[in-house]
Amino acid sequence: MHLVRIALLATAFLVARPGNAAEPPPHVSGSPFSINLWPGPPPGDGGPRGPERVYTSGSHAGAVSNVSVPRIEVYTPPHPNGTAVIVIGGGGYARIGMGREVMPTATWLQTQGVTAVVLYYRLPADHWPAVAPFQDAQRAIRVLRAHAQDFGINPARIGVLGFSAGGNLAGIAETRSAATFYPPVDAADRLSARPDFAALLYPVISLGQPYDTTRSGRELSTQADSVEAYSAQLHVTPRTPPTFLAQAKDDPIANIGNSLIMYDALKKNGVEAELHVFDKGGHGWGMGTPGSEVAAWPDLFARWARRNGFL
């Protein structure tokens, strides 16, 4: 494993909670609950044909598709430390990898005192426009920040963590937080959509050559400017939040160059960043098989987050 690190000063900020944001339902510590992201139908035309689907067998067991009601599912740990992480599964914008990636990570985050927030986002493969998942991610950050006090969350310690295509979604959420992906719908949309930190695991970063070989790129290509709009490294600025990256050199789906070009863009802009490159691991490892190289990433991420004041 090779480690590259750049540690520079990053600025965190507090965002006020709007007084008229809709209240979440009562909850008990450890009991998950869902909050729909949109007060009415989500923006944009299209959508899936048929009900939401959960894969029950095969390599995609636990994955979800046909999402028509984008939402967050919140898991509050017994002893919250004030940090929240929105966990975003991959699946090439055709499904969301809940079983192997999202839910094990959400469970682990709770052991660290972190409020785990699972994002169910709309998928272009389900006939939503390419911008739909980016609308949902941006809205999720704002909705969570609006309810930070209700959940015992510090509004300046909200992060995003994404796998594969979810890494692309998290990467755009952190680099294009000021973009207007949808018109405001309520008071929550007056809040910042900038996450305070990000973790990108075997991410799809670039949709351009020579990295234009993923299903993510194909599903987003229904938007004419998708390569420019959704290649995260093109949008890094000094305001991009601190970022943790991890990927295996032998990844057959997302070329290791994705993490390298993202790290390089972060470094050039003076953003706090840490990159871990594993010799072996492939793609889609989630928390990692115990004893494998890639299974080291949760501990490495926790140490990084702690050094930067997020744990």
Question: What integer pLDDT is reported at residue 10 of this predicted model?
Answer: 31
Please say if the pLDDT value at position 8 is more than 50. Answer: no
Rounded Cα distance between 311 and 81, Å, is 7
**Does residue 153 contact residue 80 with C-beta atoms inside 8 Å?**
yes
Q: What is the mean pLDDT of the chain?
A: 91
Rounded Cα distance between 176 and 61, Å, is 32
pLDDT digits (tens, 9 = 90+) for 245-262: 999 999 999 999 999 999
The token pair that represents 180 in the structure block = 């207007």
| The CATH number of domain 2-6+33-307 is 3.40.50.11720 | no
Please say if the pLDDT value at position 22 is more than 50. Answer: no
Confidence of residue 60 (pLDDT cuts 50, 70, 90): confident
Q: Where are the domains of the chain?
A: 2-6+33-307
Ranges 18-22, 161-165, 206-210: which has the least confidence: 18-22
Question: What integer pLDDT is reported at residue 12 of this predicted model?
Answer: 30
H/E run at residue 132: helix 132-146
Ranges 7-11, 167-171, 206-210: which has the least confidence: 7-11
Pairwise pLDDT comparison (33 vs 14), residue with the higher score: 33
Q: What percent of the chain has pLDDT over 70?
A: 90
Question: What integer pLDDT is reported at residue 32 of this predicted model?
Answer: 86
Please say if the pLDDT value at position 35 is more than 90. Answer: yes
Question: What integer pLDDT is reported at residue 25 of this predicted model?
Answer: 45
Q: What is the mean pLDDT of residues 106-117?
A: 97
Question: What integer pLDDT is reported at residue 41 of this predicted model?
Answer: 94
- State phi, psi for 5 to the nearest 5 degrees: -145, 140
Question: What integer pLDDT is reported at residue 9 of this predicted model?
Answer: 27
> Considering just the CA atoms, what is the radius of gyration of the chain in Å?
18
Q: How many residues does the chain have?
A: 311
Q: What is the mean pLDDT of residues 227-241?
A: 98
**pTM for the whole thing?**
0.90
Neighbours of 123 (CB within 10 A): 26
pLDDT digits (tens, 9 = 90+) for 139-154: 999 999 999 999 999 9
DSSP SS3 for 37: coil
